[in-house]
Amino acid sequence: MTSTNRFANRLLIFVCGLVLFAVGSAAAAAVLVPGIRDVWKDTGAQVTDQTGSLLEQTRLAGLEVSWILIAVVALLVIAIVVLIVFIARHGHGHTSRAVTDSSGEHGTTIVESSVAEQALQDALDGHSEFVASHVSTYAVRRTPVLKVSITCRRGVSPKDAAAIVESKLLALDGLLGRELPALIQVSGGFRARVGKTTRLQ
């Protein structure tokens, strides 16, 4: 229900973590391992000299700077822009309004999504059939839609769990005076398997 691809999120996090781990491991090895430290000292001067020579050979006419440095700066700027776009897109689709009603004669009635989410969350927290639950609101084709995610304990029927959520949604509809579209996501998982078995009464 979001425009952010979950696989892309995890891939980017994995790649960044892998790069940071590799850099950190190399730095630690260069400091702590005598053999690697000696090699680093010997090759460091050579690398510095070769880099300086390369930058001298690639200077642009009329400028005191190498085109390689310009290319590196351009790549860094592009990377920063991509990260900013990625951060801006993350979580896109959430909406802060659950109800907007302008049909009345005395103005517009607005119900914040946090009100509906908290009311539904409080109702679900009282059920021991669930290990965890989370309520959020998204805008789907400009229509607020509640997403209710629940993790059931072992032994709880997904059908019965969905029925509990449905009853709470109906109560919320009665409170708001209108029916809100909702998506119910029922799942299990490690926490559900190790949790205490609870059966519906």
pTM: 0.50
Sequence-ordered alpha helix ranges (H) in 65-105: 67-89
pLDDT number for residue 74: 92
Judge whether residue 1 has pLDDT over 60.
no
Structure-model confidence comparison of residues 168 and 64, the more confident one: 168
| pLDDT per position as a tens digit, 103-152 | 666 777 778 888 888 888 998 888 888 888 888 888 887 788 888 988 88
Domains and CATH numbers, the chain: 6-89 (no CATH), 97-194 (3.30.70.1350)
Report d(CA 137, CA 140) in Å as an integer: 10
| pLDDT per position as a tens digit, 42-90 | 777 777 778 778 777 888 777 778 888 888 899 999 989 988 877 766 5
Contact 109, 96 (CB under 8 A): no
Question: What average pLDDT does the chain have?
Answer: 78
119 Cβ contact list (under 8 Å, min separation 6): 172, 175
Among residues 201, 149, 161, 198, the alpha carbon closest in space to that of 1 is found at 149
DSSP state of 33: -
Q: Which of 20-24, 151-155, 191-195 has the weakest average pLDDT?
A: 191-195
User: Residue 167 in 3-state DSSP?
Assistant: helix
